[in-house]
Amino acid sequence: MKKEEGACLVCGRPLVYFEKAQEMECAICHGKFRSCASCEAGHFVCDRCHGEQGIRDVIAYCMQSSSRDPVAMMQEMMEDPYIHMHGPEHHVMVGAALLCAYRNSGGEIELEEALGKMKERGAKYPGGSCGYWGCCGAAVSAGMFLSIATGTTPLSGESWGLSNQMTAEALSDIGRIGGPRCCKRNAFTAAKAAVRFAQEHLGVVMELPAAIRCTHSPQNRQCLKTHCPYFAG
């Protein structure tokens, strides 16, 4: 059974967030980091240790999937015990599911290479950025998808603009729902925005479920419940 909320991977207690970063030691790899979060007992787990196995599982899943629906793919991947209720593994999962669905819908990319780029880029985006930077990693992951699909670099022209617009649209949809954060809600919202954007600007038509129903509410203490568009009741 998945641990409740954004619970500590060491002891299962709730996480505590604070405004100023402190130096901490990862309870798993014992590396030294500066972080704005620990659990109530003081345990800290770095982003790499938190998401490493989940990210490997995401890439393996996407390499074998024939689905054209990124949300359905993510719903299956979210059942993986290494995809936690909240965590930086979602920053890779969103873009990876979109790249896979895009390729399966006729998008011209080499999937293994594209997923490798997604893993490298998404894994660098820090957990907690939704609150501390005002830019949710699910939205950034959707922008990474667009950048990878179009081969965008900092010197690109039209696709540079499209990649930034993609992030902005996903972030706007996420922001309108409001907080507290939920990696599941934000992942679904960013993927929906990306499917719409890819059809409009790239001419690639992916699929989405007729209705998206989240099954993770019991694991999320801060669930918005009826205020979330995906709440299953």
In a domain, 233, yes or no: no
**Beta carbons within 8 Å of 49's beta carbon, 6+ residues apart:** 9, 26, 28, 29
> Quick one: which of 56, 141, 128 has its CA closest to 92?
141
Weakest-pLDDT range from 99-103, 149-153, 185-189, 220-224: 220-224
Of all residues in the chain, the percent with pLDDT exceeding 90 is 77
- Does one domain contain both 11 and 61? no
Asked whether residue 26 is domain-assigned, the answer is yes
- Same domain? For 110 and 61 the reply is yes
Task: Examine the domain organization and report whether 26 and 108 are in the same domain.
Answer: no
Sign of the four-CA dihedral 70, 72, 76, 78: positive
Q: Is the same domain home to 33 and 126?
A: no
Same-domain check for residues 4 and 70: no
pLDDT, position 4: 42
Instruction: Examine the domain organization and report whether 26 and 57 are in the same domain.
Output: no
Residues in the chain: 233
The pTM (predicted TM-score) of the whole model is 0.89
Domain total of the chain: 2
Q: Are 145 and 192 in contact (CB under 8 A)?
A: no
Range of the domain at 205: 47-227
